[in-house]
Amino acid sequence: MKALRNYLDKIKPNFEEGGKLHAFHSVFDGFESFMFVPSTTSKSGTHIHDAIDSKRIMSIVVIALIPALLFGMYNVGYQHFLAIGQENAGFLNLFGYGFLAVLPKIIVSYVVGLGIEFIVAQWKNEEIQEGFLVSGILIPMIVPIDCPLWILAVATAFSVIFVKEIFGGTGMNVFNVALMTRAFLFFGYPSQMSGDVVWVAKGSIFGLGEGTLVDSFSGATPLGQIATTKAEVAIHAINGSTASLSDMFFGFIPGSIGETSVVAIAIGAFILLWTGIGSWKTMVSVFVGGIVMGLIFNQFGAADNFMAQMPWYQHLMLGGFCFGAVFMATDPVTSARTETGKYIFGFLVGAMAIIIRVLNPGYPEGMMLAILLMNIFAPLIDYYVVQSNTTRRIKRAINK
Amino acid sequence: MSQLFSKKNKDVFFNPFNIDNPVTVQVLGICSALAVTAKLEPAIVMGLSVTVIVAFANVIISLLRKTIPNRIRIIVQLVVVAALVTIVSEVLKAYAYDVSVQLSVYVGLIITNCILMGRLEAFAMQNAPWESFLDGLGNGIGYAMILIVVAFFRELLGAGQILGFNILNYDCIANTGYMNNGLMLMPPMALIIVGCVIWVQRARNKEMQEQ
């Protein structure tokens, strides 16, 4: 750490006014303030600073995402070797395969997103904003493993420009940037984002994981299987054997890279809640909303609609429900900001996600659309919470 | 003759192409710009129809402008526009049936296009027929231009075609992994492309940027 500090101090003059690398000063500033908390304070007025700044908050969210990412890599390898009938290939093979399959997506997402951020910062002569640190790792985690890299790059560019920079950069966006990337992919390239062929990596990487698919292979996700059936079915894993509840809980099912494991997401949720960065109010109320809506559909849903009859705990375990609740709905920029508003926002996200799953067979997973929909309503919720508080206090003042 | 093409008349005709564009500057007629631009052919026909209707409606209203009682002017304008829309709609059905099916209700809805009422109210009611004709023609072409630009990108990137001819739908391109973007065929993307056109236009014209 000391050596890095010394090195940064040594090269710093190059980036200052008149230095030969002055053109890249925003890149240097961004990197320096990412590694070290800036020691400068505001020059005028009285300010109260939080102990950690937003770059540190972003870093903790990234740390919280790592368990889910690592498990996602392992699961990518596991699903692949399961598909070619060699599930006992050893941990290193499984993880190594998944690592090599996921790594290009992370690189593409960061290079495209940060590239645009750097260009915009350079162009407008501003500091580099840190918002993409989290989006950049979220994006590869919410796409299927077989999603081609170039459409990932297009979608990332689209959403950084049109969802974030247009509205004024980090902290000003109305929609969650990572989810908008996914929505762009979902509507723009539906054949690469849904169906039953994109969830399992089938090719070999550098000779790793060579083999032919087993005959009983079927790559549909559990929610995909449920959406296409009328009768109650036993959910099967990709090699045809039955998937147990514990498989779904620990995440050994096909799905988007980071979303499958409830356990890994729970570790991330613990980190977010322990450090006080994610709001427990939003998280809890998303789950409550999902449970309540699940129970309602159990009672009143059509008897031949298996999605409606699915027990609530299975709704919460499958698809992106947990991932969305922990990492997407709690996004401090796009969710409701008032404390009461967080309960309302979270509850409606959970309820809407289940409603979309059950009532629209075209969208077996509703979490993305539910969160994006509620992102629009978050300012409205805040407005009414603030208004009702004002009216209540005015009333109290008048009654005295 | 020189009077017919004076500086003022030139401005009346050419301003709607750029600094006074009905779609990108006045932000009128957006509904049809989103609805009919999924393909280039209907967009061209739509642009043409609106140009014809707004030009002739302007002339007729301009001729009548001194006899129309002020309190019922909107009704009179609507009647004129409705008559012209009916004529255009019948012509399309007779000579370009396929396109008129694709355009469906949007030909009839030209009556409610804000550009028309805007030009009639703001220009034809105060100006002579020739100026009104130029104004209508200019605004119609300004509208058609934006429609064609939007439809060009939507059809090219969404369906891989231009005017129904394959441009990107060949095996050699598909083998590189290229795919058409389905979102381009949906209305939201039209709005975003219109936004991009506005962005480019304002970036080029300094006088359009607010301080």
Task: State mean pLDDT over B106-127.
Answer: 86
Question: φ, ψ for residue B55 (rounded to 5)?
Answer: -65, -50
Question: φ, ψ for residue A248 (rounded to 5)?
Answer: -70, -35
The pLDDT assigned to A11 comes to 77
- Is the CB of B179 less than 8 angstroms away from the CB of A189? yes
Question: Considering its fold, how many domains does chain A have in total?
Answer: 3
Report the C-alpha gap between B69 and B63 in whole angstroms: 14
One domain for residues A222 and A306: no
The token pair that represents A70 in the structure block: 């690592």
One domain for residues A266 and A332: no
One domain for residues A219 and A304: no
DSSP tag of A208: B
Which pLDDT band holds residue A265 (cuts at 50, 70, 90)?
very high
- Is the CB of B181 less than 8 angstroms away from the CB of A190? no
Chain centre to alpha carbon of residue A94? 24
The pLDDT assigned to A233 comes to 66
Tally of residues, chain B: 211
Task: State mean pLDDT over B79-83.
Answer: 92
In a domain, A55, yes or no: no
Cβ of A104: how many Cβ atoms within 10 Å? Answer: 13
One domain for residues A80 and A118: yes
Task: State mean pLDDT over B172-176.
Answer: 76
- Is the CB of A150 less than 8 angstroms away from the CB of B177? yes
Across chain A, what does the average pLDDT equal? 84
One domain for residues A148 and A161: yes
The pLDDT assigned to A332 comes to 86
Report the C-alpha gap between A195 and A251 in whole angstroms: 19
One domain for residues A243 and A340: no
Which pLDDT band holds residue B55 (cuts at 50, 70, 90)?
very high
The pLDDT assigned to A374 comes to 93
pLDDT over 80 (residue B186)? yes
Query: Cβ contacts of residue B112 below 8 Å, gap of 6+?
Result: none
Cβ(A154)–Cβ(A182) under 8 Å? no
One domain for residues A212 and A313: no
Cβ(A14)–Cβ(A21) under 8 Å? yes
Report the C-alpha gap between B183 and A183 in whole angstroms: 10
For residue B17, give the nearest of B193, B132, B199, B141 by alpha carbon. B141
For residue A274, give the nearest of A52, A64, A62 by alpha carbon. A64
Residue of chain A with shortest Cα separation from B183: A188
For residue A364, give the nearest of A229, A205, A173 by alpha carbon. A229
Which of A192-206, A232-246, A296-310, A315-329 shows the lowest mean pLDDT across its residues?
A232-246
The pLDDT assigned to B84 comes to 92
In a domain, A338, yes or no: yes
One domain for residues A152 and A184: yes
Task: State mean pLDDT over A180-190.
Answer: 90
Which pLDDT band holds residue B141 (cuts at 50, 70, 90)?
very high
First to last CA, chain B: 41
pLDDT over 70 (residue B2)? no
Across chain B, what does the average pLDDT equal? 86
Q: A interface mutation test: which of B181, B191, B199 has the most A CBs within 10 A? A: B181
Contacts of B202 in chain A (CB under 8 A): none
More confident residue, A295 or B170: A295
Query: Cβ contacts of residue A123 below 8 Å, gap of 6+?
Result: none
The angle, 0 to 180 degrees and rounded to 10, between the axes of the packed helices A280-300 and A262-274 is 140
pLDDT over 80 (residue A1)? no
For residue A282, give the nearest of A343, A204, A221, A368 by alpha carbon. A343
Cα angle for residues B56, B57, B61 (degrees, 5° grid): 120
In a domain, A144, yes or no: yes
For residue B136, give the nearest of B86, B80, B208, B87 by alpha carbon. B80
Among the candidates A217, A250, A277, a domain finishes at A277
The pLDDT assigned to B170 comes to 78
Query: Cβ contacts of residue A88 below 8 Å, gap of 6+?
Result: none
Which of A70-84, A125-139, A167-181 shows the lowest mean pLDDT across its residues?
A125-139
Report the C-alpha gap between A255 and B19 in whole angstroms: 50
Distances (CA, A) of A69 to A147, A261, A396: 16, 10, 51
More confident residue, B169 or A139: A139
Distances (CA, A) of B87 to A89, B135, B137: 74, 21, 18
pLDDT over 70 (residue B116)? yes
Separation in Å, CA of A67 to nearest CA in chain B: 32
Distances (CA, A) of A94 to A81, A82, A101: 7, 10, 11
The pLDDT assigned to A23 comes to 67
Strands B165-166 and B161-162 turn out to be antiparallel
Among the candidates A277, A312, A335, a domain finishes at A277
One domain for residues A123 and A149: yes
More confident residue, B165 or A138: A138
Separation in Å, CA of B91 to nearest CA in chain A: 36
In a domain, A140, yes or no: yes
The chain B residues in contact with chain A (CB within 8 A) are: 177, 179, 181-184, 186, 192
Rg (CA), chain A: 23
Question: φ, ψ for residue A335 (rounded to 5)?
Answer: -95, 175
Question: φ, ψ for residue A241 (rounded to 5)?
Answer: -75, 165
- Is the CB of B177 less than 8 angstroms away from the CB of A187? no
More confident residue, B100 or A89: B100
pLDDT digits (tens, 9 = 90+) for A192-243: 887 777 888 777 777 777 777 777 777 778 787 777 776 666 677 777 677 7
For residue A132, give the nearest of A197, A191, A176 by alpha carbon. A176
Report the C-alpha gap between A298 and A310 in whole angstroms: 7
More confident residue, A244 or A110: A110
Cα dihedral A71, A72, A77, A81 sign: positive
List the single residue in A151, A187, A192 with the smallest CB-CB distance to B186.
A187
Residue of chain A with shortest Cα separation from B181: A188
Q: What percent of chain A has pLDDT over 70?
A: 94
The pLDDT assigned to A181 comes to 92
In a domain, A44, yes or no: no
Cβ(A37)–Cβ(A59) under 8 Å? no
More confident residue, A303 or A280: A280
Which of A92-106, A231-245, A252-266 shows the lowest mean pLDDT across its residues?
A231-245
Question: What domain range is A263 assigned to?
Answer: 63-277
Task: State mean pLDDT over B129-153.
Answer: 91
One domain for residues A354 and A242: no
The number of C-beta contacts closer than 8 angstroms across A and B is 20
Q: What percent of chain B has pLDDT over 90?
A: 27
In a domain, A194, yes or no: yes
Among the candidates A277, A293, A318, a domain finishes at A277
The token pair that represents A222 in the structure block: 């559990």
Task: State mean pLDDT over B121-138.
Answer: 89
Query: Cβ contacts of residue A45 below 8 Å, gap of 6+?
Result: none
Give the residue ranges of DSSP H helices in chain A: 2-15, 25-35, 54-83, 91-124, 132-141, 149-159, 177-188, 190-193, 222-227, 245-250, 262-274, 280-300, 306-309, 312-317, 321-323, 339-359, 367-399
In a domain, A392, yes or no: yes
Identify which of A130-144, A218-232, A340-354 has the greatest average pLDDT: A340-354
Instruction: Give the 3-state secondary structure of residue B196.
Output: helix
- Is the CB of B182 less than 8 angstroms away from the CB of A190? yes
Query: What is the full DSSP assignment across A265-282?
Result: HHHHHHHHHHTT-S-HHH
Cβ(A380)–Cβ(A366) under 8 Å? no
Report the C-alpha gap between A268 and A279 in whole angstroms: 13
One domain for residues A101 and A192: yes
In a domain, A307, yes or no: yes
Which pLDDT band holds residue A109 (cuts at 50, 70, 90)?
very high
- Interchain CB contact of A190 with B (< 8 Å): yes
DSSP tag of B185: G
The pLDDT assigned to B13 comes to 83
Report the C-alpha gap between A130 and B23 in whole angstroms: 36
Would you put residue A164 in left (φ > 0), alpha (ψ -120 to 50) or beta?
Answer: alpha
One domain for residues A83 and A160: yes
- Interchain CB contact of A188 with B (< 8 Å): yes
